Chain A
Amino acid sequence: MPAPTNAQLVEFYKDMLLARRFEERCGQLYVQQKFSGFCHLYIGQEAVSTGSLNAIRKGQDYVISGYRDHVQPITLGMTPREVMAEMLGKATGCASGRGGSMHMFSSKLRYLGGHGIVGGQVPLAAGVGWKIKSMKEDLVILCFMGDAAINQGQFHEALNMAAIWDLPCIFIIENNLYGMGTAISRTCSLNVLADRAKGYNMRQAVVDGRNVLNTYAQMYEIVEETRKTSKPILVEMQTYRFRGHSMSDPQTYRLKEEVERERQQDCLQTLRDHMVAQKVATDDDFDKWEEEISEIVEDSVTFAEESPEPELHTIFDHVLAP
């Protein structure tokens, strides 16, 4: 694997910073009641999105995920405008205001959604793997899920099928330690979640999802290996969410000290320290990027707020395809 270039480091940093500021702004808008419904923020997990999705061929390889899905499409290349407009349910959103926070989609970017039923997207990924194999394509699918998804029956069924048929699926558990408010240690008998792979005679990996350089390096190897062998793999991505499960989470299930400890390993700060040490960037650069990102985020909010509501007469569009 080629080491990331300085330009890539800058790109990674800016992608994670955009993710962080975008999500913070989403949280504010939610509190201001600019939109409603559910809102699951990605804050703390940015290295997973940036590290994994920069390791694939964007726009060719497929990606699917659960409902913590605002950030991954942006890393893939969707404009923050389209995501923010979808958050606000506008006609200009990436799902025309039909999906909302949990259902971002882009056929162009091969981002197959944002899915709201825990674990329900995992068999879908096996289906995409089936297509890649059937059509003899040189591609892979990345399937993201939360840690709690591994307790669903559909997870088991999908991994078994991917294993028996050698499907090029990379199943990624974003292990942030909690399924909503329940610690994964209380609901799964394994200490290492990736060990579930043993039951399917499947490859497995544990990836440091708190440090984007590690994430990128490990995922790059995994992606290319999967592309070459067409053998599935179960990846446990160790990460942590700094905010609640959703916006209505009082977080009584974990100690403030734990969150503080985790914040010491903030992926943004870790990369910044690395870039400063390597003399890739100066404090001035970081200030400049902060400003740039702030403008992009504000532009997305303005765009979303000024965008039209979907027209009522379109309510029956897309129930059935022509």
Chain B
Amino acid sequence: MAIISLREALRQAMTEEMERDPTVFLMGEEVGEYNGAYKVSKGMLQQFGPMRVVDSPISEAGFCGLGVGAAMVGMRPIIEMMTWNFAIQAFDQIINHAAKMLYMSGGQFPIPMVIRGPHGAAHMLSAQHSQCVDHMLVNVPGMIVISTVIPADAKGLMKSAIRNNNPVCFLESEMVYGKEGEVPEGEYLIPIGVGDIKRKGEHVTLVAWNKMVYVALEVAEELAQEGIEVEILDPRTLQPLDENMIFESVRKTHRLVVLEEGWGISTIGNYIVDRTVTECFDDLDAPPVRVHNHFVPMPYNETLEHEVLPNKERTIEAIKKVLYR
């Protein structure tokens, strides 16, 4: 199996799907001549030409809406947002148009469309460039939300997302576009809505997604030295969520920690805890704990930023808390 980076895995998925389906096109800021702000679409303009790899004006609402309209009449647009921070400009199109169209037309107009881009904080970009919107997206019926940065998962899920007949919000991370992993070549599809156990463990269930999976893996490595075996679950798809994977793990470990980037009020972590407490109340040996951002706009300063983000230290503390250590 080839070892490639996340950006290459995403490019491979998009390229393969564009080769097999002429209705698929990629549109966004800097995706063509500049080769992608984060080089995800490098070389694609050369391969597919300017009608299929399209440099857009800086008009997130506009080109996202263009994608919705094109999807209504049979195209399969991939709309790249330079980051999900900028996609907030397009929330009217995502929430009011893409997500609602099928339902309010009584099933007549599906929107097969992928809206993708990096999500969450990068490094020292301050408040307007460092936030999470995944918790807002999952609370809107009519959309699928995928959040994954493991190269193989990203490839398999991106291919499934492009073939899916619904709006799919696909959340990546610019911090780990260069991180590599084994990725199967050619046809490789991962079903939407199925999570993955990233590490087996007996003592505590740790749910994490996107780049927090890498923090979780570090935490598990460190705690293994102390004899604590952490089971890491990566839902990969946040809407719909693989709840059963979480319940099964908690029934084994009896302890739950959710590690998520973003502010801690009304989050996906809240939902996971709510569902787990409802379904696994008698299995729990400790109240679940969530690790998330401090409730402040992201500061620029490096030390402050590290403190605001849900880091390794706070996760270890949370795990020890549910283990009463």
State the CA gap A113–B103 with chains docked (Å). 12
Given A117-B92, A157-B61, A319-B103, also A127-B108 (CB < 8 A) = no
A98 and B59 contact, CB distance less than 8 A = no
Question: Which residues of the other chain, B, contact A154 by a CB distance below 8 angstroms?
Answer: 61-62, 65, 92-93
Within 257-313 of B, Cβ neighbours of A (below 8 Å) are at: none
A157 and B59 contact, CB distance less than 8 A = yes
State the CA gap A156–B51 with chains docked (Å). 22
Q: Select the stretch in A69-77, A104-112, A262-270, A296-304 that faces chain B.
A: A104-112
B67 and A120 contact, CB distance less than 8 A = no
Q: Would you call B107 an interface residue if the criterion is a C-beta within 8 Å of the partner chain's C-beta atoms? A: yes
Within 58-101 of B, Cβ neighbours of A (below 8 Å) are at: 59, 61-75, 77, 92-93, 96-97, 101
A319 and B141 contact, CB distance less than 8 A = yes
State the CA gap A95–B96 with chains docked (Å). 17
State the CA gap A95–B108 with chains docked (Å). 8
State the CA gap A97–B106 with chains docked (Å). 7
B69 and A96 contact, CB distance less than 8 A = no
Given A134-B51, A320-B166, also A127-B102 (CB < 8 A) = no
State the CA gap A99–B69 with chains docked (Å). 18
Question: Which residues of the other chain, A, contact B109 by a CB distance below 8 angstroms?
Answer: 105, 107, 112-113
State the CA gap A113–B165 with chains docked (Å). 19
Given A120-B93, A123-B61, A320-B166, also A130-B66 (CB < 8 A) = yes
B102 and A321 contact, CB distance less than 8 A = yes
B57 and A318 contact, CB distance less than 8 A = no
State the CA gap A35–B71 with chains docked (Å). 32
A124 and B72 contact, CB distance less than 8 A = yes
B62 and A112 contact, CB distance less than 8 A = no
Shortest Cβ gap from B237 to chain A (Å): 13
Residue of B nearest to A164 (CB): B57
Q: Which residue in B62, B77, B105, B110 is a CB contact (below 8 Å) of A103? A: B105
Q: Would you call A126 an interface residue if the criterion is a C-beta within 8 Å of the partner chain's C-beta atoms? A: yes
Q: Would you call A62 an interface residue if the criterion is a C-beta within 8 Å of the partner chain's C-beta atoms? A: yes
State the CA gap A110–B75 with chains docked (Å). 15
B106 and A130 contact, CB distance less than 8 A = no
Shortest Cβ gap from A121 to chain B (Å): 8
Q: How large is the interface on A (under 10, 10 to 19, 20 to 34, 35 or more residues)?
A: 35 or more
Q: Which residue in B92, B112, B165 is a CB contact (below 8 Å) of A120? A: B92
Within 27-70 of B, Cβ neighbours of A (below 8 Å) are at: 51, 56-57, 59, 61-70
Tell me the interface secondary structure of chain A in the complex.
mixed
Question: Which residues of the other chain, B, contact A158 by a CB distance below 8 angstroms?
Answer: 62, 65-66
Given A123-B65, A126-B66, A322-B165, also A93-B106 (CB < 8 A) = yes
Question: Which residues of the other chain, A, contact B67 by a CB distance below 8 angstroms?
Answer: 127
Q: Would you call B104 an interface residue if the criterion is a C-beta within 8 Å of the partner chain's C-beta atoms? A: yes
Q: Would you call A37 an interface residue if the criterion is a C-beta within 8 Å of the partner chain's C-beta atoms? A: no
A99 and B104 contact, CB distance less than 8 A = yes
Question: Which residues of the other chain, B, contact A103 by a CB distance below 8 angstroms?
Answer: 104-105
Question: Which residues of the other chain, A, contact B142 by a CB distance below 8 angstroms?
Answer: 319-320
Question: Which residues of the other chain, B, contact A98 by a CB distance below 8 angstroms?
Answer: 103-106
State the CA gap A122–B144 with chains docked (Å). 24
B93 and A96 contact, CB distance less than 8 A = no
Q: Which residue in A106, A110, A127 is a CB contact (below 8 Å) of B70? A: A127
Shortest Cβ gap from A255 to chain B (Å): 35
State the CA gap A61–B296 with chains docked (Å). 51
Shortest Cβ gap from A148 to chain B (Å): 16
State the CA gap A128–B70 with chains docked (Å). 5
Q: Would you call B25 an interface residue if the criterion is a C-beta within 8 Å of the partner chain's C-beta atoms? A: yes
Pairs across A and B, CB under 8 Å, 26 listed: A62-B73, A94-B106, A95-B105, A98-B103, A105-B109, A107-B108, A115-B97, A117-B92, A117-B97, A120-B93, A124-B69, A125-B69, A127-B68, A128-B72, A131-B70, A131-B75, A134-B25, A134-B75, A157-B57, A157-B65, A161-B56, A161-B57, A164-B57, A320-B102, A320-B144, A321-B102
